[in-house]
Every structure is written in structure tokens, then in C-alpha cells.
Amino acid sequence: MRFSVSFAPALVAACSLLLNAGCAGQDKALKYGPGELDHERLHPVELKGRVLTQGDYLAQPGRVLRVGEHLLVLDRAADSVLHLISARDGSRLRSQGRQGAGPGEYQGAWSLAPDFRDPESAWAYDIALSRFTRVPVAGNTSIHRDPEIITLSPELIPTQPLWISDSVFVTPNFSPRGRLLFFDRRGQLLKAGGVLPTDSRGTPESVLQQAWVGRLALRPDRQRMVLVTQYADQVELYRADGSPLRQVRGPFRFDPRFTVADLQGFKTMSSDESMRHGYVDVAVTDDRIYALFSGRTREAFGGDASFGRYVHVFDWDGQLVKVLKLDRDLISVALSADRRRLYGASHNPEPAIMAFALED
């Protein structure tokens, strides 16, 4: 099977296909190396999780964001896209955000971001609509009648907006304008930052942006950012203004495997079963980076290659401090306010939000 991406709706469709593909099985002959990279030499610390919440309201929980004493869960396959649960006991407080294109509705909900103006609110990004919507968390109101919405340029294909101040947000993207793009509160492009990926084949920059797509996190003091790569074990460290600090590799040092295809006149990334997933999500504290790692190929795991059960813990100098091994596959991670618990979304054996106790 070959997957292609060229614009936001296609990205949503491709990733939805991956999540629903299921496990291809590891007992068949493998052509592209080990189905999952071996962490034994890294002496991982094993963590046993507990189910914080599960139920019929969860379909395919994806991104998880801690907002105060709550967890906001993004669920693209549910009737309600957003679920608000207690981080303490997992009780569901409400669900909101139906499928659609109107205010407070979503067609391709993709990521979540904290709101620095209001710690009791968050923002949800819809990649299909290129729309960033404020989501209230406190109180009993499930949907604002007139929610604050910022519409971004779909040609730039922003992938994960994050506020770095009260009035400026930054996002990775699939355009050749820059590795990171900065916007004001009206959705107007301010500048580009970061270092665009390159290769020796002369691959178009927009295609390389797709191949090296990553997950972005902002340090709580808003002075540093980290971008972890989805199809490689690469970690990029930046200042908040987008200037690069350093680029480091994880313990396995593999790059994305892809080709360039033409789709309706657009140059796009195309990949097959040889693609190995790297860092599928990231959460941070003032002194640590928790990068959820897969290391799995699509050949061996199919859609489950986008899940991981190892967490690579780095410091903000890019040094690997330790490796955690979870007892359940996760697709996303978040941290408690006191940094003593790691939360994550799991699909198997059934959809659930998990909690893991962290060591000091």
C-alpha cells in the first residue's frame, strides 16, 4: 500500500487510513528490518499504567492536553470531537464539538494547544478547515455561541499551532516558506523560522517538509521549543523566536523512507510499508522532554505503527537521559501539573486514557 499527501484534506484522509488499518502481524517475513527497534541496550525503566477512564464515548482518542485539573481529549472518530475529563479520577465532565463546518464544529480536528490568556481554556486546530478555535474548559457551558476562531492560509498547510505569547502562535507546516511559521492573532503570517530539511536528491522543500513532519512542544517558560520528527529519530531544539539551537539524533539514527509523487499536479511525499515511525508525540517540563517513540514499520504493524510504548527522555541540551517502557501502546502523551504522572491515549485492547506514575 502506498500513501500520498499533498494538502490538508488529503493529510486527514491518509492519517485516518493509517489509524484504521490495524496490525499487519509480525509473524510474516519482513523485508525492511526489524518490525520494532530493540531498546534492550538502553536499559528502559518499565512503567505499569492504570486505566484512568474508558467507555463507549471514546472512539479513537488522539491528542491529550492537560488544562488545569482537567484533561481535554481529541477524538476524531466520535460523535463529539472533544471530551473533558478529570485528571484526578477520570470522570467525564462533558463532550462537545460535533462533526461539521460551523462554529464549534470540526471536520479534521488535529491538535490541541493551551491558551496563555486563559488557563481555563484551550485551542483546537482543524487541519481540514485550517481553523484554530478557542475551547472553554471551566464552567458548565459546552459550546460558546460565538467562539473565537482564527482561520489560517490553507496553502501553507499549518499542522500544529501553539501559542508562544498572548498574541503570537507558531506552527510546523508543509510549505517551503520555513520549518516554523509565526502568525498573529488575526491569522496573518509574521515570519518564518527554523531550518528547512534538505537532501542530496534535490527533493522539493514542500515534500521534505512532509517527510520530516514533527510534533512541536513549548517549554513552560516559553523560551525554548522542541520539534520531534514522526518518521525519524530526530530532535530539533529552537529558541522561542525560531532561531535554531541544535539538532540531535536519537539512539537509532534513521531517516524517513519516501519517494516523490505527482498528485493532481502537486509534488507530494509517497511512502510504503518500509516507512518506520519515530517520535509520534511529545510533552515537556522545565527540564525534560518526553518523546513518545514508535520505532515500528508499517510492514510489521500496519496502522499500529503510529503507536509507541517507549518514551525517550531528553534534557533541553538534547542529551538522552533515560528511556521509559510502558505496558500499553499510546498514540499521545501529556504530563500532570506536578510532573508525577504521564497520561496517554490508547486504542487497544479498547479505547482508554491511561495514567502512569513517574519516578523522581
- Per residue in 73-111, pLDDT (tens digit) is 999 888 899 999 999 999 999 999 998 999 889 999 999
Whole-model pTM?
0.92
Nearest in space to 85 (alpha carbons), one of 334, 330, 326: 334
- In terms of Cβ atoms closer than 10 Å to its own Cβ (0-12, 13-18, 19+), residue 20 is exposed
Pairing of strands 45-47, 320-330: parallel
235 to 21, 104, 248: CA distances (angstroms): 28, 34, 5
Q: Who wins on pLDDT, 349 or 104?
A: 349
Q: What is the mean pLDDT of residues 259-285?
A: 94
**Residue 160 located in a structural domain:** yes
Domain contains 215 = yes
260, 207 in Cβ contact below 8 A? yes
User: Within a domain: residue 330?
Assistant: no
Residue 316 falls inside a structural domain: no
How many Å is the Cα radius of gyration of the chain? 19
**Is 80 exceeded by the pLDDT of residue 158?**
yes
Residue 257 has pLDDT above 50, yes or no: yes
Confidence of residue 20 (pLDDT cuts 50, 70, 90): very low
CATH number for the domain harbouring residue 146 = 2.130.10
Does residue 15 sit within a domain?
A: yes
pLDDT given for residue 15 in this prediction: 45
4-13, 261-270, 350-359: range with lowest mean pLDDT: 4-13
Comparing 4-8, 53-57, 110-114, 316-320, which segment has the lowest mean pLDDT? 4-8
More confident residue, 333 or 12: 333
Residue span of the structural domain in which 215 resides: 3-42+91-305
Does the pLDDT at position 23 exceed 70?
Answer: no
163-187 average pLDDT score: 96
Indicate the number of domains in the chain. 1
What distance in Å separates the CA atoms of residue 123 and residue 149, rounded to the nearest whole number? 9
pLDDT at 139: 62
Q: What is the pLDDT of residue 81?
A: 94
